[in-house]
Structure 1
Amino acid sequence: MYKTQNGDTFDSNNPYCNYRSPLSTRYASKDMQYNFSEQKKFSTWRRLWINLAKAEQELGLDITQDQIAEMQNNVNDINFEECAAEEKITRHDVMAHVHVFAKQCPKAAPIIHLGATSCFVGDNTDLIVIRDGLNLLLPRVAVVIDNLAHFADRYKSLPTLGFTHLQPAQLTTVGKRATLWLFDLLMDEKALRRAKDDLRFRGAKGTTGTQASFLQLFDGDRTKVQKLDQRIAELSGFTKVYPVTGQTYTRKVDLEVVSALSSLGATMHKMCSDLRLLANMKEVEEPFEKTQIGSSAMPYKRNPMRSERCCALARHLLALFSNAANTHSVQWFERTLDDSANKRLTLSEAFLTADAALMVLENVTQGLVVYPKVIERRIGQELPFMSAENIIMAMVKKGGDRQICHERIRVLSHEAGAQVKEHGKDNDFLERVRADAYFAPIVGELNELLNPSTYIGCAPEQVTEFLNDEVKPVLEKYKEYLKKPSSVTLNI
């Protein structure tokens, strides 16, 4: 039992008595959690020591196949308690794991970590984890894009009231609005894919990036040092190494990755904010379970809780960018250790948060509900004012004077606006037009002039062209993944 300074007593071995990140207990997927797990981290360290030994053996160092096999047989068998105890003694996490691994592999003990530094395992593992994390996120982005593409196509011709400055503007369509979210997501997919494709391996660079220890191992043969660097990268699944590093790969790499993830967060926040506004207007809603409770006090409520959660997660993701930027900016000369603690938090939380938010967004986009009658009613409230130019043109064609017509419409529209704003009545602009003898020549055309589909411009065609020209080529890259049924299960 453990007694706190506040006087509380608890079982320190009980996981519910220790802090647990909501990213693990509530939000992120099991795959992404494993990607940042201790098991993945330290088994990767061991694989890197194996790859180092293999490459050094290939280049002529006295390393036997038995030594490599012994390490391979113990790659996943990690005694975490023993490693923790060893770290208390050494105050060094890498050396603690070297010592424990060496005990498990007595034959290989002399050559484990041969010529390497802590950053050989630390940095190279981080690059592997970043790569694998991006490989998990990109298909999720593609699923959201695919969901929205189907939504945009289905509603490409459904007129809806557009807004600028959050004030009623000209009409657009429900599908056209969705393409605005889609285009942002296409930019995110490209940025994340570029970040992944740009990743290289740190390889074997030594304490300050000069490869001095490896040059000594190979008796001054620089060609072998270069081959070692490249071979370790290949064995670890990378085609290129960073040509120059300090003790670490530049933290600019982390900054670029977190920047792409934060940018994705901005996209998700913008889209889900739009959905929350649409839910308020009762035009479009996220999925709502039959047994879902919107409020403990107000049973009638249908809160956009998924979109709100996505915004909350995205906001945290946006905030992480400054950590990555500040960390890179203060890495003095070849490196300082003030990156370590921050990096442990920022990288993992950026990926786990992006993963969690994308899972929510996938759920939302596969079940969006549209209410055409509500949309039609709102259009009916605003379209009379928007029809002014069409009415003027129709009157001019009948021989009317544009300036006189403009003034009459201005007066009538202001009168109708006062009815709406001051008295809470419906927009009666058209009734006023019909009652004004001046407009008698076009009264019979008013219904045609007010057909919403004549106010949406090229929106349907834009949607079709956008989906064909921009979206489909991106989705083609993920066609095998998109064939799989959704595996998203949202926690509470």
Structure 2
Amino acid sequence: MADHTQDTRIQRTQLQQELEQMQAKSSPAEFDTYQTSLTGRYCSTAMSHLFSQRSRYSTWRKLWLYLAQSEKELGIESITLEALEEMRTHVQLTDFDFETARTEEKRRRHDVMAHVHAFGVVCPSASGIIHYGATSCFVTDNTELILMRDALQIILSRLAKVMRNLSMFALKWKAEPTLAYTHLQPAQLITVGKRAAQWIQDLMFDLQSIEHVRKGLRFRGAQGTTGTQASFLEIFGGDASKCDRLNELLCQKAGFTACYDVSTQTYTRKVDLELANAVAGLGATAQKICGDIRHLAAWKEVEEPFESTQIGSSAMAYKRNPMRSERVYSLSRELISKPINFANTLSDQWLERTLDDSAIRRIDIPEMFLLADAILLGLDNVTDGLVVYPKRIQSRVQEELPFMITESIIMKLVAQGESRQEAHEQIRILSQEAANTVKNEGKPNDLVARIKGTEFFKPIWVELDSMLRPEL
């Protein structure tokens, strides 16, 4: 007993030392400030990086470069080649740039102008022409459209992988009879593969919706402060054709086919709502799929992957809780809630723009995609390793199969001249009696024996045993 206690103390001391070493190596922010669970625990590095500050503000710089390049191409002589080269060299932000912008924002209370200043510090030849003719939404709105377009592509790739997993699963188990459920009560048989095909079809709807909104995304472009391009008309001496050409050049550089036909200071927030509805639809599908898997796991028919060293419960060592499906289910519930925020933002935009769309969209746009990413990573993991227990499925089928054949019995009796209503009533009475035996006496289902003992069903007695085949 003493040796065991000493060993435990040594293990605790070693663990404490390891924790202290980890804390010493980690930045203070990792332990001392709130970190979102999405980026720290659930979603991919790719999606986290896409919506990082470095990605966002580097995209701002790319847009300022695209604008300057396009204005230069359209004859603005004050933009020099040296300025463009400096801007190109410093597109990616350094820690120094972030610190400069942070200091400037405290002083100016304006994040875009803070970054204009920070960019100008490292690009002195360009400092006078950065953001020339533009309003803040030139970088903020266009960046959001770029990030959402790229995020949708990540989502589509992950969704296709989940559909592939389930397609392979459906084909493998397409002929395995299993109980279907309506009202969460046993109903006529389907197959294990057919149920997976139902999931795939819903995911296909999501894929089509997301592809549709991604294909429909346009650029805001350079529209000025209220969408009239007044500032750019001034720059180009009233030449409206150059304003149109400017947007064509910006679209080419940013990878968009066109700008939205009408913009105010922003692109319409209807775009965000349509996109949120499509992405949130994926959350509803994922919650449905994982809810089904959780029920099947409770019946021990199908389970998500469970590793050999995995612990299902800290108290109940025998448990195999479907924690992956529960996680996806939980994240899906949060994703489903997002569209209402985008709807409220759209409806609350007064006239040409109010700023109360800003703070909430800084939260909701990244979170929507981080949630979708985490959900699909979880679904990929679950669907790539689903475990099926055929013997258990067959056992449960046999428990309910006598009830399953009652509709066929009615049809056969009617074909031989019996009344459909009378056949239904006879089979209903015997079914209730058999169910009572199962529920109140704990005995096996004896419906077939009751049918064989009832003269009314004599015309189909010889067919009964052959009807009790699940594959039929």
The verdict on a shared fold, with TM-score over 0.5 as the criterion, is yes
**1:71 partnered with 2:78:** no
C-alpha displacement at 1:283, in angstroms?
1.0
Partner residue in 2 for 1:171: 189
Deviation string for 1:435-466 (max 9, x for gaps)?
44665665443221111222xxxxxxxxxxxx
**1:21 partnered with 2:36:** yes
CA contact (8 A) 1:275 1:307 kept: yes
Greater RCO, 1 or 2 (C-alpha within 8 Å, sep 6+) = 1
C-alpha displacement at 1:32, in angstroms?
0.2
Residue 109 of structure 2 aligns to which amino acid in structure 1? Answer: R
Q: 2:389 aligns with which of 371, 379, 391?
A: 371
Partner residue in 1 for 2:438: 420
C-alpha displacement at 1:152, in angstroms?
1.1
* TM-score, structure 2 normalization: 0.90
* TM-score, structure 1 normalization: 0.87
Distance of 1:35 and 1:140 partners within structure 2: 15
Partner residue in 2 for 1:228: 246
| Runs of 5+ consecutive residues of structure 2 not aligned to the other structure | 1-25
CA contact (8 A) 2:152 2:214 kept: yes
C-alpha displacement at 1:413, in angstroms?
2.2
CA contact (8 A) 1:12 1:18 kept: no
Distance of 1:374 and 1:191 partners within structure 2: 38
Deviation string for 1:109-152 (max 9, x for gaps)?
11111111111111111110001100111010000111111111
Q: 1:34 aligns with which of 40, 49, 59?
A: 49
Q: 2:379 aligns with which of 361, 364, 367?
A: 361
Distance of 1:336 and 1:393 partners within structure 2: 67
| Cα distance change, pair 441–220 in 1 and its aligned pair in 2 (3 A) | closer
CA contact (8 A) 1:148 1:182 kept: yes
SS of equivalent residue, structure 1 residue 163: strand
What pairs with 1:241-260 in structure 2 (closer than 5 Å)? 241-260=259-278
Distance of 1:439 and 1:271 partners within structure 2: 41
What pairs with 1:441-452 in structure 2 (closer than 5 Å)? 442-452=460-470
C-alpha displacement at 1:371, in angstroms?
1.2
What pairs with 1:229-378 in structure 2 (closer than 5 Å)? 229-378=247-396
**1:53 partnered with 2:62:** no
**1:384 partnered with 2:402:** yes
Q: Which moved more, 1:338-347 or 1:58-67?
A: 58-67
| Runs of 5+ consecutive residues of structure 1 not aligned to the other structure | 1-10, 455-492
Q: Which moved more, 1:374-383 or 1:209-218?
A: 374-383
Distance of 2:431 and 2:126 partners within structure 1: 88
**1:115 partnered with 2:133:** yes
Residue 377 of structure 1 aligns to which amino acid in structure 2? Answer: S
CA contact (8 A) 1:56 1:228 kept: yes
| Cα distance change, pair 243–407 in 1 and its aligned pair in 2 (3 A) | closer
Deviation string for 1:187-211 (max 9, x for gaps)?
1001111111111101000011110
Distance of 1:161 and 1:19 partners within structure 2: 46
| Cα distance change, pair 237–410 in 1 and its aligned pair in 2 (3 A) | closer
SS of equivalent residue, structure 2 residue 187: strand
* CA root-mean-square deviation: 1.9
| Cα distance change, pair 397–15 in 1 and its aligned pair in 2 (3 A) | closer
Distance of 1:407 and 1:221 partners within structure 2: 85
Distance of 1:201 and 1:208 partners within structure 2: 16
Size of the aligned set, in residue pairs, is: 444
| Cα distance change, pair 406–224 in 1 and its aligned pair in 2 (3 A) | closer
Q: 2:155 aligns with which of 124, 137, 147?
A: 137
Identity rate of aligned residues, in percent? 54
| Cα distance change, pair 101–402 in 1 and its aligned pair in 2 (3 A) | closer
Distance of 1:208 and 1:396 partners within structure 2: 74
Distance of 1:398 and 1:214 partners within structure 2: 85
Partner residue in 1 for 2:120: 102
